[in-house]
Chain A
Amino acid sequence: MSILINKDTKVIVQGLGKTGQFHTDKAIAYGTQMVGAVHPSKAGTTHVFEGATDHSGVPGRPDNYRVELPIFSSVLEAIEETGADASVVYVPPPFAADAIMEAAESGIRVIVAVTEGVPVADMVRAKRYLADKDTRLVGPNCPGVITPGEIKIGIMPGYIHQPGKIGVISRSGTLTYEAVYQLTRLGLGQTTAVGIGGDPVNGTNFLDMLKQFNDDPETEGVVMIGEIGGTAEEDAAEWIKDNMTKPVAGFIAGTTAPAGKRMGHAGAIISGGKGTAAAKIAALHAAGIEVAETPTDMGAAMVRAMG
């Protein structure tokens, strides 16, 4: 079991430019069922992906792959032709929110938006638009979602993952890799790892994913990795205290970050005294979460939390 996506999920890519092509190739090598692309200027053609299979991904496949990916002018057409239920968005920032809304309106169930630099106002509108749609948006500005051994949607390196029993939720890409790699080396592996992204307005927050991991029978513990800015970690901690039945380990980045400076991520900023690492760490402790003192200890903290 897993959350959000599994081996049966069929994925289309929105935006098959250079970045989209690169990561679509890696996804196919991993074993993801990439079934089509939406890129209006290339609609009606196909793009051929071929190469050596990444054997750290879906098991039992031949050593080489060759996929002729059909390209469509709209998400609706892509769904009709392929039966896709998930999409990954690499569309450039000015058009990314529109691509997200199109996917939602067309009936895509899970949208993973990788694009960095989407205007906040666009996301405010897109999120309002998605409110009454039966769609889960992850991102934007996120590494994506992976269910190891089954499917990888996004830009994370597949080989550091391993099928297992820990759910991972994180606002940071490279810190997710750090946590995942430690869990792999400890033999715990992951059910699903979700990068929710570093923007101030995103489709999915910690709380949404915690609820799903709590309900997933295969997930035995959760690592959540937060950072300065906003109060999503505090909200999650509050919910964990009253509802979570599984052990949780956490880490918060930004203890040394100065106030008023954006630390790379658009959402990583302490403003008006709000969103400090100290407040978040205190909230995690208060909820009984095992907090790692340094990122090197995230895996060990999970082991401690599991007793």
Chain B
Amino acid sequence: MLRYTIRRFLELIPKLLIITLVIFLGLQALPGDPITRTVPPEMYKNMTEAELEMLRESLGLNRPWYMQYFSWLGRILQGNLGFSQVNGSDVSQMMADRLPATIALAVFALLIANILGLLFGYLAAIHKNSWIDYTNTTFSVIGISVPEFFFGIMFILFFSLNLRWFPTGGRMTAGDGSFWNRLHHMVLPGTCLALPLVATLMRFTRSSMLDVLNKDYVKTARSKGLPRLTVNVKHGLRNAMIPVMTLLVFRLPILVSGAVVIESVFNYTGVGAMALDALSASDIPVVMLTTMVMAAVTLVASCLVDILTAVLDPRIRLD
């Protein structure tokens, strides 16, 4: 297991290098002096040309591009993403504020999606062709066909404006940043984000579960006289979950894409909103850095799901 985990993480490195390299080259290709993106703007303003030259030398901005790439990468790994040229703010600080919010939203959505998707998919499979199966099928088709933001607007209208159960948006009430307050703000956007995933997972769990229930080892377990629930969950669901987890890896980027839209619907100030704001201010470097960080986070998350799948299925570790 440890060997498998290490191998998966090692496989991440070339991908992360390529992503960062592409973004680095993109940043280099942009007009403007790279040093303005590297040092705080107030510091830049007060410096003489000679001092700037010295700083360039010490930051390695005079060296060939591949050397620059590595020193840039080193600065990023130390948590220094540079500065926005448009409003002079520290990109790392913005990230530190917004990335956890987006990750929290995505994790919340993933939890809902996994719990509901697996549960209802499981129920639909063991009660095949019952009303619960048909309700599921109907819901799963609707769930993958209706855009998330349309759900979002409807939710705001019903649950926020009419029923007043949840706030219309934001990450927390001003002056109140408690856990429950944040969670309360996360319910509607998190549910909207989860719905398409719930639908997909439900559908997939159902078919995967039906597949597994026909396997010989399930029949054997049943004929041994094991309780039905034990067979269904321990022999059935556990094995049925493996293809579902694989699907989850492919769905993660779609979840992140959805988060960008949902954050905008609910004024949830996460990374997606940050990319959008930067884009409307034509702050391309910040958009590039945001994209890079999000891609890297998605990549690492996919890797974690892969490892989790290997925990479920020992066969994967062997090849």
A binds B: no
Q: Residues of B at under 8 Å CB distance from A?
A: none
Q: Residues of A at under 8 Å CB distance from B?
A: none
